[in-house]
Amino acid sequence: MGSSPSKPTESAQADHRRSFSEKNSYAPSELSESLAHLRISAPLSADGALTLGHVDDWEDVVAQSPKLQLSRTILNHTNIRETLVSRKAVIADAHVFNTEVDFKTNPITSQKSSGRCWLFATTNVLRYNIMKKLNLGDFQLSQAYLFFWDKLNKSNYFLELSIENADLPIDDRIVDYLSDELISDGGQWDMVVNILETYGVVPQAVYPESLHSSLSSPLNTLLKTKLREHSLILRDLSSSLRANSSLSEDAILQTLRSKKEELLKEVYIIMSATLGAIPKPDEPFTWDYLDKDGKAASWTGTSKQFYKTFAYDKYSPSDSFSLINDPRNEYGKLYTVDKLGNIWGARPVLYVNTQIDDLKQAVVKQIKAGQPVFFGCDVGQFSDRNAGIMDIALFEYEAAFDIKFGLTKADRLRTNESSMTHAMVISGVHLDPAGKPVRYKVENSWGPDVGNKGYFVMSDAWFEQFVYQVVVPKAFAPKELVKVYESGEKVVLPAWDPMGSLA
């Protein structure tokens, strides 16, 4: 907008930051004072319908505001996400960081048209150790390998839940929810640990991308259709078996699982045709490669051996856990989400809820120790994909429309305004002289053509509002939070809770 007067003053930007604070919620005394000053007036429309009188009043407001008239002149023919970018924020969000991990990986990865960000974030973390150990210049683990095993196990998980809930009405909320969110591409940290520990990892050259790993929607649509059909078959069978009073519960369960395995064969056939036959974790493969000096080398072993030999040193994925910041719920508690998982009977999804500063310190400690950090956030909020900036001050919406944003982080979770939508990797942080984070270097999985050659910058204020999860090895977590995690005493959130959203 050039020299337009819509740019907020310093005090306006401070107000903007305060509007995002959890402290913005009213205390009882403040609420009473607010109500005492509330002006009670009769509405223009007694029956609640919108009238032309409302429009006339609102037009009068615009007519008396040169700023709003200027916004109306400009914004009806320009993209607000481009026109209202704050120059001050762009300058402040420099892609410069004074503390970074000691090794840079290549290439920048791309999940393409799929929701596999959590698998890319995981493999982007694991390849740091692999590339250092093997002296590699460019390297990727096979995201498609993890995707295959996750999708197959999620199919089994859904059908096990269908058996478990077969006695519930078909329109029961949990049955309805599970039949909608049955095998998404997304996942959580504990779910990827399940896959890693059970199936290991392989280089991408051993199990390359296919069209349908990079473009997952057609495959997902087909699998969902079959799995919903399978679910109804199991429900009907369960009803028929229970009508026979001579059968024990164990006999019924074993019969249902036998039928389930027969149905899962169709899922495997579809997946192996569209993604490629999958290497088994107990069968050796041979990987020939060139190191960064051009020297040829070869390795032979199983996927589980590759994982345990190269993917980590001191801090194994299985020894790491999720810190979350969810202001709706009590801090210092362990949480899980009902019916959420991928491998049936394996490690559950667990979160330790704590103050946002604990998440920040976990990041700083890991970066200083040379460890990249897996984290989950709501990437679409106040961010610019092309510039690679995530900052709550990035857009001048409040100044241009004469509005204020009043939702707190807890409010956004309660009203479906925000949730954990994306997983990425933090590989650097810029600290002020007092050692407090100012901004973070983020490795995304959207290819090298966005951001700063694939890297994003995240402001500390954005971190506070839209980062929900940081994965931390126990060695870098506060002892009291490790104790909470190891206690196993968990609060179970409903399946549809926003903490059950899959990055």
329 is catalytic: no
Q: Are the C-beta atoms of residues 253 and 239 closer than 8 Å to each other?
A: no
**b/e code 93-124 from CB counts within 10 Å (16+ = b):** bebebeebbeeebeebbbbeebbbbbbbbbbb
- The first and second tokens of residue 147, run together, are 């995707």
Q: Are the C-beta atoms of residues 440 and 377 closer than 8 Å to each other?
A: no
Which of 16, 117, 212, 377 is catalytic? The answer is: 117
Which of 16, 212, 422, 430 is catalytic? The answer is: 422
DSSP for 346-399, please give it.
SPPP-EEE--HHHHHHHHHHHHHTT--EEEEE-TTTTEETTTTEE-TTSB-HHH
DSSP state of 277: P
Which of 156, 325, 353, 444 is catalytic? The answer is: 444
327: which residues sit within 8 A by CB, 6+ positions away? Answer: 22, 408, 409, 410, 413
- CA of residue 468 relative to chain centroid, distance: 8
Instruction: Kindly give the interhelix angle for 303-310 and 189-199, rounded to the nearest 10 degrees.
Output: 120
Tell how strand 351-353 and strand 320-324 pair up.
parallel
Radius of gyration of the chain (CA): 26
CA–CA separation, 131 vs 289, rounded Å?
A: 12
Instruction: Kindly give the interhelix angle for 189-199 and 143-164, rounded to the nearest 10 degrees.
Output: 110
98 is catalytic: no
Q: Are the C-beta atoms of residues 297 and 134 closer than 8 Å to each other?
A: yes
Q: Which of 30, 93, 64, 66 has its CA nearest to residue 461?
A: 93
* Residue 475 three-state SS: helix
Q: Which of 461, 460, 384, 468 has its CA nearest to residue 424?
A: 468
Hey, which bits of 188-292 come out as E strands? 285-290
CA–CA separation, 147 vs 142, rounded Å?
A: 9
Q: Which of 347, 344, 349 has its CA nearest to residue 160?
A: 344
Q: Which of 17, 74, 2 has its CA nearest to residue 394?
A: 17
Hey, which bits of 50-140 come out as E strands? 99-100
CA–CA separation, 303 vs 169, rounded Å?
A: 42
377 is catalytic: no
Q: Are the C-beta atoms of residues 219 and 212 closer than 8 Å to each other?
A: yes
Q: Which of 38, 86, 21, 76 has its CA nearest to residue 398?
A: 86
Residues with catalytic function: 117, 422, 444
